[in-house]
Structure 1
Amino acid sequence: MSRRVKRPLAKSRGPGSARPKGARAKAARPKGTRSAGRGVAERFQGERWQGGRPDKPPRVAAPRDSVPVIEPPAKPEPAPLPTKVQTVAVTADEANMRVDRFLEARFPGLSFSHIQRVVRKGELRVNGKRADSKDRLGEGDKVRIPPLKLDTPKVAAGLSEAETKIRDELQKMVLFEDADVMVLNKPAGLAVQGGSGLSRHIDGMLEVMCDAKGQRPRLVHRLDRETAGCLLVAKTRFAATALTGSFRHRSARKIYWALVAGVPKPKQGRISTYLAKEESEEDSIMRIAAHGDEGASHAVTYYAVVETSAQKLAWVSLKPVTGRTHQLRAHMAHIDHAIVGDPKYFNKENWQLPGGLQKRLHLLARRIVIPHPRGGVIDVTAPLPPHMLQSWNLLGLEADRFDPIENAPEE
């Protein structure tokens, strides 16, 4: 399904695989055209997918695209962090963003721990009142931002033995890397950011990976703790600003693979709901909400069945248009086809897990495609994690099969 062309000056590393890993940079092509090797053309019309998929689509080698010359950035590095109190207004593009996401977007150089500290101490105010990191902002809200500073980074020469092991562990996760960007193959079970009772997470591990100038890699999006696959990391402030903007303007394409209970009907479709957080003493989940409910956000997901196993399980390809918390998990449970191994949303009674399958979340961030900050395109694919690969092998599913959702619409 994926085609890989090595970008100039890029390093691609990964654990024990004969297949090359990395991203391809390609010249832009006119809207509506497609390159060879995609299989059968599929398209959506309205809210239903029109067109068929052969039982055994041909596997055709994709041609190598021409690689554009990557020019230096046309704009300078972001302005330094504010050294005095300032008040900023929330724009239309930033409406409905969480407070912590708003700060990350405005100031990519800030670490997660610094943002949480500023908010927890009440130094940040929204419309004159204290705010929580998870509060949503509205267009026109006035946000008081205190003086900010970058955390002091660690330099490679001063790493302890334990920190060196962390750096080596991160480097084994790398699917693609160049001077500005890194894509990690996040293992299932490893948290992206810290939280209650969490001391080990990607954001904390990145502290040991600084460049010669002391710039610390920064997260630009997130995956759930139990979700494996492509995690995009910016290595410079310039890249963090550009990539965050691409996510905000929905210029990034993400493809997920999941194993779900039952077979969705129709086999291709669109899920459009509102989601809102539902808190409890023990846990919190995203529930299906009505338009206008407090904290409700619109969420859209395209799905397509790739292959089935005895009509009891289905391998589905998922394309989220929006990026809400637990969106794919909540949406698949909403249509009564919850993701196998999901401890929060699997709600099918008297359903037995087939023998040999592990009771772990079967969700993979399979592919990410996003404009490179300096030109060209980052296009990276992650392999199945061990527990999903075991399930695919036991069920006779072919991981290199044509992925029918690749060309789903963007909105």
Structure 2
Amino acid sequence: MTLISKDSVTLLTLDDNDAGQRIDNFLLRHLKGVPKSHVYRILRSGEVRVNKGRIDASYRLNAGDIVRIPPVRVAERSQTGPIAPAQQFAVVFEDDALLVINKPAGVAVHGGSGVSFGVIEQLRSARPESHFLELIHRLDRETSGLLMIAKKRSCLVKMHEVMRGPRIDKRYLALACGQWPAKLKDVTLPLHKYLLPDGERRVQVQSDGKAAHTRFRIVQPYGDFTLVEAQLKTGRTHQIRVHMQSSGYPIAGDDKYGDFSLNKQLAKQGLKRMFLHAARLQLKHPLTDELLVLEAPLPDDLSRFLTELQP
């Protein structure tokens, strides 16, 4: 690690991709290697100016703002980890603000927790001309299907509002172990997130947990299994997986909440991963209000496994 002194004042003129951010978050992102305490000190002292005026840490930036950043000492870290290889993914929808891809199973959406890189890092490597690419939501590593990425900050901010309300319809296909009862349509068990001793994230049903609601519909019975559609009414971590497991019908192949002995048998029959697929999204475009209905067909590995089962 070396220290580099920025000896002159920096003036930055902001565009739409920067609009809507708090100034403190903008500085923390822009001044990589500067201690957080120092960033807040230069804010409090008035050394950071926006349009020549003093601002506090909660100020939200606008396109066209001119930000004055004083000279700071920045710790520059050398590249130590592997660079994410460029990778394109099947595009379901794209315009200048929003990208929706069909994520394959087995690929994390971002690096971390023992994963060097994921979809977002690979997309950034493949699209160096894109100045802004950020995940709007997440899918578990073994879940395939529709994944939304913002290409503009204004899109990201608007989509975070949309994701918190009823204006988006997200539907998944899952294979339940057992004969799903027709009367079991709405599961509203509250969910609590916790960490295992090794730091792995888990979720369980708990009375004081966060409210969660999944609506289920039978698509096709398959003997001792049932293909169901799960519609997310809320968006909690591992919601579908835990709601199905706690209802007595875990997802086939689920290595965290499933029937582990049955999973071993299913692997021999060709099911090598969790049978969960983000199949459909319906929403209004965050910037144009155009109605989007996006679908991703069941991937080949899951389709082949269904053909091995007896409807």
Q: TM-score, normalised by structure 1?
A: 0.55
Per the alignment, residue 247 of structure 1 pairs with 163
Per the alignment, residue 3 of structure 2 pairs with none
1:375 aligns with 2:292: no
Per the alignment, residue 330 of structure 1 pairs with 242
Per the alignment, residue 299 of structure 1 pairs with 212
Q: CA deviation at 1:386?
A: 2.7
Task: Find the partner of 1:184 among 63, 83, 101.
Answer: 101
Per the alignment, residue 135 of structure 2 pairs with 219
1:286 aligns with 2:203: yes
Alignment of 1:6-405 (within 5 A): 79=19, 81-83=21-23, 85=24, 166=86, 169-170=87-88, 172-208=89-125, 214-282=130-198, 283-291=200-208, 296-310=209-223, 312-347=224-259, 353-354=265-266, 356-372=269-285, 373-395=287-309
Q: CA deviation at 1:359?
A: 3.2
Q: CA deviation at 1:178?
A: 1.6
Q: What's the RMSD between the two structures over aligned residues?
A: 3.5
Distance in 1, matches of 2:39 and 2:169, equals 33
8 Å CA contact 1:123, 1:145 repeated in 2: no
Q: Secondary structure at the match of 2:302?
A: helix
8 Å CA contact 2:109, 2:120 repeated in 1: yes
Gap regions ≥5 residues in structure 1: 1-75, 86-102, 126-143, 150-161, 398-411
Distance in 1, matches of 2:184 and 2:254, equals 22
8 Å CA contact 1:124, 1:146 repeated in 2: no
1:258-307 per-residue CA deviation (whole Å, 9 max, x = no partner) reads 1110012235410001111232224331011013xxxx211100111111
8 Å CA contact 1:342, 1:360 repeated in 2: yes
8 Å CA contact 2:97, 2:151 repeated in 1: yes
Distance in 2, matches of 1:164 and 1:287, equals 33
8 Å CA contact 1:255, 1:320 repeated in 2: yes
8 Å CA contact 1:261, 1:340 repeated in 2: yes
Distance in 1, matches of 2:90 and 2:37, equals 37
8 Å CA contact 1:256, 1:367 repeated in 2: yes
Per chain length, whose mean CA-contact separation is higher, i.e. which structure has more relative contact order (CA < 8 Å, sep 6+)? Answer: 1
Distance in 1, matches of 2:263 and 2:83, equals 44
Q: Secondary structure at the match of 1:265?
A: coil
Distance in 2, matches of 1:345 and 1:122, equals 41
8 Å CA contact 1:206, 1:216 repeated in 2: no
8 Å CA contact 1:175, 1:183 repeated in 2: yes
Q: Secondary structure at the match of 1:299?
A: coil
Q: CA deviation at 1:147?
A: 11
- The change in CA–CA distance for 1:391 and 1:78 in structure 2 (over 3 A counts) is same
8 Å CA contact 1:188, 1:385 repeated in 2: no
Residue 202 of structure 1 aligns with an amino acid whose one-letter code is V
Q: CA deviation at 1:190?
A: 0.5
Q: Secondary structure at the match of 2:158?
A: helix
1:145-204 per-residue CA deviation (whole Å, 9 max, x = no partner) reads 79999xxxxxxxxxxxx98961xx32x421111222111000101001221221120121
Distance in 2, matches of 1:189 and 1:350, equals 20
Distance in 1, matches of 2:183 and 2:148, equals 30
Q: CA deviation at 1:228?
A: 0.2
Q: Which has the higher strand share?
A: 2
Bigger Rg, which one: 2
Q: Secondary structure at the match of 1:188?
A: coil
- The change in CA–CA distance for 1:262 and 1:124 in structure 2 (over 3 A counts) is farther
Q: CA deviation at 1:245?
A: 1.5
What is the total number of aligned residue pairs between the two structures?
A: 256
Q: TM-score, normalised by structure 2?
A: 0.71
Residue 394 of structure 1 aligns with an amino acid whose one-letter code is E
- The change in CA–CA distance for 1:390 and 1:203 in structure 2 (over 3 A counts) is same
Residue 119 of structure 2 aligns with an amino acid whose one-letter code is I
